[in-house]
Amino acid sequence: MWLLTAVGVAMIGIAAAVLGSMSLTRNSDQKSHQSFVTSSVEIASTLKVDIDREQDLGVNAAGFILGNSSASEGQFQQWTASIRLFQRFPELQGIGEVVLVPPTQLKEFAADHGGSTFQVTPSGNILTTASPP
C-alpha cells in the first residue's frame, strides 16, 4: 500500500512538474511574442516619423525653389538658417554644392567667386567647386 501511495505521489509530482513547465514555457513564449510585437510597433512608428520629417523637408525645399526660382546662394543660405536646417537635419551636414565650369569660363568663374575654395577635377578640363554649407 505504501508503495502504491509513493508511486501515486511521485506520479502526481511528475505531472505537476510537467504541467508547470509547460505553463512557464507558454507564458515565456507569450511574453517574447508581446515584446516582439511592441518592438516592431516602436520601430515602425519611428521609421514613419523619420520618413515624414524627410518628406516635410522635401516639400519645404521644393516650396523655396518654386517660390524663388532665381534665388542666390545667399538667399538659400538665409533660408537654411531661418528654418535651422542643419540643426534639425544633421544628416545634411555633408551636403555641398558642385558647379561644372568649362575651361574657357574658369577665370571668370574664379573671379566671381573669389572667397570660395576650388578643386579642378579632372585637372585642366572642368572646374568642379565644392563648398560646404
Identify the band that residue 110 occupies on the pLDDT scale cut at 50, 70 and 90. confident
The range of the structural domain enclosing residue 108 comes to: 96-133
User: What does the pLDDT average to over 64-93?
Assistant: 88
Mean local confidence (pLDDT), 76-89? 90
User: What is the spatial distance between Cα 41 and Cα 71, in angstroms, rounded to a whole number?
Assistant: 42
Looking at the fold, whether 18 and 71 belong to one and the same domain comes out as: yes
**The total number of structural domains that make up the chain:** 2
74-107 in b/e form (b: 16+ CB < 10 A) is eebeebbeeeebeeebeeeeeeeeeeebeeeebe
Question: What are 41's three cell numbers?
Answer: 510597433
**pTM for this structure?**
0.49
Which tens digits make up the pLDDT trace of 22-35?
888 888 888 888 88
Confidence class for position 47, pLDDT limits 50, 70, 90: very high
For residue 127, is pLDDT > 80?
Answer: no
Q: How far apart are CA 128 and CA 130, in angstroms?
A: 7
Identify whether residues 89 and 30 lie together within a single domain. Answer: yes
Cell 538658417: give the residue: 81
Which one, of 132, 123, 68, 69, lies nearest residue 98 by Cα?
A: 132
Residues 131 and 90 placed together within one structural domain of the fold = no
Half-sphere exposure at residue 110, Cβ-oriented, CA atoms within 13 angstroms: 13
106 three-state secondary structure: helix
Cell numbers for 113, please give them.
Answer: 567667386
Q: Residue 79 — φ and ψ, nearest 5°?
A: -65, -45
Q: Which three cell numbers stand for residue 133?
A: 554649407
Residues 10 and 56 in one domain: yes
71 shares its domain with 26: yes
